[in-house]
C-alpha cells in the first residue's frame, strides 16, 4: 500500500520535490530507526525504498528457516523493544512483524518503488539532489541507509555459465523443498552457507559445502548462554586477544576441533578477525554436527564448474544437480552516491565504527558499522540528535535575524 499523499506529493508527481526534512534512502531496520529517532526529536523525514515492503532484505531475500543470529536484546531498534513473548532468537517472520509494528508505532510511511539512482550535493544550492527513476528530491540532509547487504555477490568461477542445472544465490533460496534428493554444491561456508546446508539436509538433499579458506565456528550458545552476549560481557573486562582465546577454548570444548573436518580456523581470533575484516564467525545452530556425521560434505576450493558438476582443487570431480551461491552481499552505495569521498570503492565508510556515521554537507550514514542492528541503533540516535541540533541552530539564526530587523 503506498503511503497517503501529503502536500508535497503533487510536486513529486511533477518530477521534483523539495523535502523540508532529511531524505533517508532505504526502509530497512536502519532507515526506519533513523526516521523514528528523528520523529522523537520532532523532525519529519522522507524514506525512499526501492522495494515494495519494509525490510525487503528480510521479507524477500532470506530463507524460511532464518532466525536472528544474535539474541533479541542486541537486535531491537531504538525506543521500542521486542514483544516480551518473543523467543531469544526471533524467527524471520517475527522480526518482520516487529519491524512493521515499529513503522506503525512511529507512523513512518516510506515511498515504495523509489530506487535512488543518483545522489549528489549541489554546492551552489547547498542541497542534496536525490534522483529516483521518476522524481528529483531536494534535501538539506541525506541519510544513506541502503544496507551493507544491498546486492548479492556473484563470484566469477570458471565454467559457471556452462552448468546445466539451476544456479541460485542464497538471496533467492527459500527452503530445501525443491531440492529433495538432489546433490547440491553450496559455495561458501559463512552463516548462510552453513544454514542452507543444514536446511538442505532436512529435505534429504546432499549438500557439498565448499570451504575456500578458513572459518571460525562458534557454538551459538554455551550452556544456555549466548556466545555473543558472553563475548560482549567479557570484552568489558578483558583485552580482546584474551577474549578471543577464551572463545576458542569454549568452542573446542563444546564443538570439538574443526580443522580435521576441513574447516581450519583463521590465525586471528573470531572478534579480532571481525574487527579487522568484517568477517563474521559462524554461530552454529546444528550444521557442524551434520558435518561431523558426514551428511554435509566439506569440499576444498572449486577449480572449475563443468556442465554436470565441478572439478575441485584437490583433484576430485563430482556431479551436481544444483548450485547455491552462499557468497554474501555487498553495498551498492558507490553506484549511486556521487561526488563524495566518504565511502570506499566497495561502498563502505572509510572511517570505521563508531566514526562512520557523519560526512560533510549534511550527509549521514546508518547501518554500515559491520555490527548488525546494534550498530544501527547507535548510528540512528547520533544522526537524529545531530540533525535536530542543526535545525535548531538554523531556526535560532532565522529568528534572531528576524528580530534584528525590528
Q: Which is nearer to ligand FAD, 305 or 324 (CB)?
A: 324
Stretch that binds ligand FAD, among 145-153, 267-275, 298-306, 350-358 (CB under 6 A): 145-153
Q: Which is nearer to ligand FAD, 51 or 362 (CB)?
A: 51
Name the grid cell of 225: 548462554
49: left (phi over 0), alpha (psi -120 to 50) or beta: beta
Closest CA to 288 of 211, 181, 371: 211
Q: Which of 17, 22, 24, 30 binds ligand FAD (CB under 6 A)?
A: 30
Q: How far is the CB of 334 from ligand FAD (least distance, A)?
A: 11
Stretch that binds ligand FAD, among 49-57, 174-182, 223-231, 302-310 (CB under 6 A): 49-57
- Count of residues that bind ligand FAD according to CB under 6 A: 36
Instruction: Output DSSP code: residue 290.
Output: H
Task: Write down how long the chain is.
Answer: 406
Residue 387 sits in the site that holds ligand FAD (CB under 6 A): no
Q: Which of 273, 282, 287, 373 binds ligand FAD (CB under 6 A)?
A: 373
Q: Can you give the three-state secondary structure of 92-144, one letter per residue? A: HHHHHHHHHHHHHHCCCCCECCCCCCEEEEECCCCEEEEECCCCEEEECCEEE
Stretch that binds ligand FAD, among 23-31, 133-141, 172-180, 306-314 (CB under 6 A): 23-31
Stretch that binds ligand FAD, among 142-150, 179-187, 232-240, 398-406 (CB under 6 A): 142-150
Instruction: Output DSSP code: residue 317.
Output: E
Contacts 24+ apart (CB under 8 A), 82-91: 88/226, 89/220, 91/66, 91/67
Residue 193 sits in the site that holds ligand FAD (CB under 6 A): no
Contacting ligand FAD within 289-348 (CB under 6 A): 329, 332, 336
Q: How far is the CB of 246 from ligand FAD (least distance, A)?
A: 22
Residue 192 sits in the site that holds ligand FAD (CB under 6 A): yes
Q: How far is the CB of 54 from ligand FAD (least distance, A)?
A: 8
Strand pairing report for 46-48 and 23-25: parallel
Evaluate whether 84 touches 59 at the Cβ level (below 8 Å).
no
Q: Which residue lies nearest ligand FAD, judged by its C-beta?
A: 28
Residue 28 sits in the site that holds ligand FAD (CB under 6 A): yes
Strand pairing report for 167-169 and 317-319: unpaired
Instruction: Please report, to the nearest 10 degrees, the dihedral formed by the alpha carbons of residues 238, 240, 244, 250 taken in order.
Output: 20
Which residues form the interface with ligand FAD (CB under 6 A)? Answer: 25-31, 48-51, 55-57, 62, 66, 68-70, 75, 114-116, 145-147, 149-150, 192, 329, 332, 336, 367, 372-373, 376
Amino acid at each position: 500500500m503506498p503511503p497517503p499523499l501529503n502536500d508535497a506529493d503533487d510536486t513529486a508527481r511533477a518530477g521534483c520535490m523539495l523535502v523540508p526534512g532529511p531524505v533517508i534512502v532505504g526502509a530497512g531496520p536502519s532507515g526506519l530507526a533513523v526516521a523514528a529517532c528523528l520523529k522523537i526529536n520532532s523532525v519529519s523525514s522522507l524514506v525512499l525504498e526501492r522495494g515494495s515492503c519494509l525490510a525487503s532484505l528480510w521479507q524477500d531475500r532470506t530463507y524460511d528457516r532464518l532466525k536472528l543470529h544474535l539474541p533479541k536484546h542486541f537486535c531491537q531498534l531504538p525506543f521500542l523493544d521486542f514483544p516480551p513473548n518473543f523467543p531469544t532468537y526471533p524467527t524471520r517472520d517475527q522480526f518482520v512483524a516487529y519491524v512493521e509494528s515499529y513503522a506503525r508505532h512511529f507512523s513512518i510511511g516510506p515511498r515504495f518503488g523509489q530506487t535512488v539512482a543518483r545522489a549528489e550535493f549541489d554546492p551552489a544550492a547547498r542541497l542534496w539532489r536525490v534522483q529516483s527513476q521518476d522524481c528529483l528530491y531536494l534535501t538539506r540532509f541525506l541519510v544513506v541507509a541502503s544496507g551493507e547487504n544491498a546486492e548479492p555477490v556473484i563470484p566469477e568461477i570458471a565454467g559457471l555459465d556452462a552448468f546445466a542445472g539451476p544456479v541460485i544465490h542464497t538471496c533467492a533460496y527459500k527452503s530445501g523443498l525443491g531440492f529433495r534428493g538432489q546433490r547440491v554444491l553450496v559455495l561458501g561456508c559463512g552463516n548462510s552457507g552453513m544454514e542452507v546446508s543444514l536446511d538442505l539436509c532436512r529435505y534429504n538433499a546432499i549438500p557439498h559445502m565448499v570451504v575456500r579458506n578458513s572459518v571460525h565456528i562458534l557454538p551459538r550458545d554455551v550452556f544456555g548462554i549466548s556466545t555473543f552476549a558472553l563475548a560482549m560481557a567479557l570484552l568489558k573486562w578483558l583485552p580482546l586477544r584474551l577474549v578471543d582465546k577464551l572463545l576458542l577454548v569454549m568452542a573446542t570444548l563444546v564443538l570439538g576441533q574443526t580443522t580435521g573436518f576441513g574447516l581450519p580456523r583463521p590465525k586471528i581470533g573470531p572478534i579480532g578477525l571481525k574487527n579487522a575484516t568484517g568477517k563474521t564467525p559462524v554461530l552454529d545452530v546444528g550444521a557442524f554436527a551434520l558435518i561431523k556425521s558426514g551428511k554435509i560434505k566439506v569440499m576444498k576450493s572449486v577449480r572449475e564448474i563443468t556442465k554436470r558438476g565441478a572439478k575441485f582443487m584437490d583433484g576430485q570431480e563430482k556431479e551436481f544437480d544444483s548450485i547455491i551461491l552462499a557468497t554474501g552481499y555487498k553495498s551498492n552505495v558507490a553506484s549511486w552516491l556521487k561526488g563524495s569521498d566518504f565511502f570506499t570503492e566497495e561502498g563502505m565508510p572509510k572511517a570505521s565504527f563508531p566514526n562512520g556515521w557523519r560526512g560533510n554537507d549534511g550527509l549521514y550514514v546508518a547501518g554500515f558499522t559491520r555490527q548488525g542492528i546494534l550498530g544501527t541503533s547507535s548510528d540512528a540516535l547520533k544522526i537524529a540528535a545531530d540533525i535536530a541540533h542543526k535545525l535548531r541552530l538554523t531556526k535560532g539564526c532565522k529568528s534572531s535575524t528576524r528580530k534584528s530587523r525590528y
